[in-house]
Amino acid sequence: MTTSIGRRTFLAAPGNLLLWLIAAFHMLLLAALFLAFLAARPAAAEDAAACTGRNLMVELQQNDPARYAEAVKEADATPNGKGIFWKIEKAGVQPSWLLGSMHVTDPRVLALPPRAQAAHDAANTIIIESDEILDERKATAALLARPELTMFTDGTTIDKLLSPEDYKRLEAGLKQRGIPLGAVSRMRPWMISSAVALPACEIARKAKGVQFLDQKIATDAVAQGKQVKGLETLAEQIQAMADLPIEFHLKSLIETLELGDKMSDVVETMTALYLSGDIGMTMPMLKTVTPEKEGEDSDYAAFEQRVILDRNKVMAERAAPILDGGNVFMAVGALHLPGKAGVIELLRQQGFTVTAVN
């Protein structure tokens, strides 16, 4: 596929770039960033509150058993790819608990498994990725203090970076979600991608004030008088995205737009995998949706390193001294957990025993 961006034309692999951005769904903590904006969007978007996505893995299993078997094989080979709830133990301290989260408002996700809910309620301390999400006004103010991370500050607007055809695609994609193009024209491409990647039903729930899972976990903890600690600041999270080249984000934005209504299917499939605990299947699934092509290895490898692996290390290192106190409930994005360089393995390297809880 040939993609035009402004005056630049290059080959884009629909798969690798978008694959990593969707796989970083846990990074879409844009409820805080878009809160005031979403609340002011056209009321017509409220009509889109019903989710309509399909589970693509069910269809793949029925229509292409061989390809489905390949995806299962790859998922099975992923270390710590099964389960979203884990027990953390260390001699001399009370056990702690680790939940892989998904930053969405889907009521199916918000309903914690019974054992996870019990662990949350009994814990002394709650760990989340960023405790700034407890106060969205302060979080937004902190981010506005670093406008260069989320906005163009040199007069650039998105229409200057996209071809006329892609600009029309963007306008149509935003309109479906009740988002006026003018409101995001100065936002950096990855911010716009985040808005487009979310299904209309998710945006509608966020705009109505429904909390995403991590917010609910933290808010419930505060209501119960518990201490809530964050592992990162929102600025640190956004800096990871901002560190990547703008060309990467522009290509990803266009690929997200090209998926169109299929984005709802992708999110529904990711949600189904999350609910079943098959986190290791997420990446193989995305490859079946957007097949891998040559030429993008350096792009998504850089993304994985900066946004996933580097942050895994930060999370594990900052969580360790808190976990040493025992009786902690920790919730971080589920896609940070699996893999040889995932949070689970990194905690094991720091002397913790981490085991899956059915």
Q: Give the pLDDT confidence of 72-89 residue by residue, as tens digits.
A: 999 999 999 999 999 999
Q: pLDDT confidence of 45, banded at 50, 70, 90?
A: very low
Q: Examine the pLDDT at 116 and tell me if it is beyond 60.
A: yes
Cβ contact 332:146 at 8 Å: no
The one-letter code for the residue type at 347 is L
Q: Examine the pLDDT at 267 and tell me if it is beyond 70.
A: yes
CA distance 40 to 4: 32
Least confident range from 33-37, 150-154, 203-207: namely 33-37
Q: For position 35, what pLDDT does the model report?
A: 42
Least confident range from 42-46, 74-78, 134-138, 213-217: namely 42-46
Cβ contact 35:113 at 8 Å: no
**Rounded to the nearest 5°, which phi and psi values hold at 348?**
-60, -40
**In Å, what is the CA distance from 120 to each residue of 43, 110, 195, 232, 304?**
36, 13, 30, 20, 30
The domain spans of the chain are 2-356
Q: pLDDT confidence of 49, banded at 50, 70, 90?
A: low
Q: Examine the pLDDT at 101 and tell me if it is beyond 70.
A: yes
Q: What's the whole-number mean pLDDT along residues 231-235?
A: 89
Torsion of CA 206, 20, 131, 274, to 10 degrees: 70
CA distance 327 to 259: 43
CA distance 25 to 271: 11
Cβ contact 315:336 at 8 Å: yes
CA distance 167 to 161: 9
Q: Buried (b) or exposed (e) across 122-138, using 16+ Cβ within 10 A? A: ebebbbbbbbbbbebee
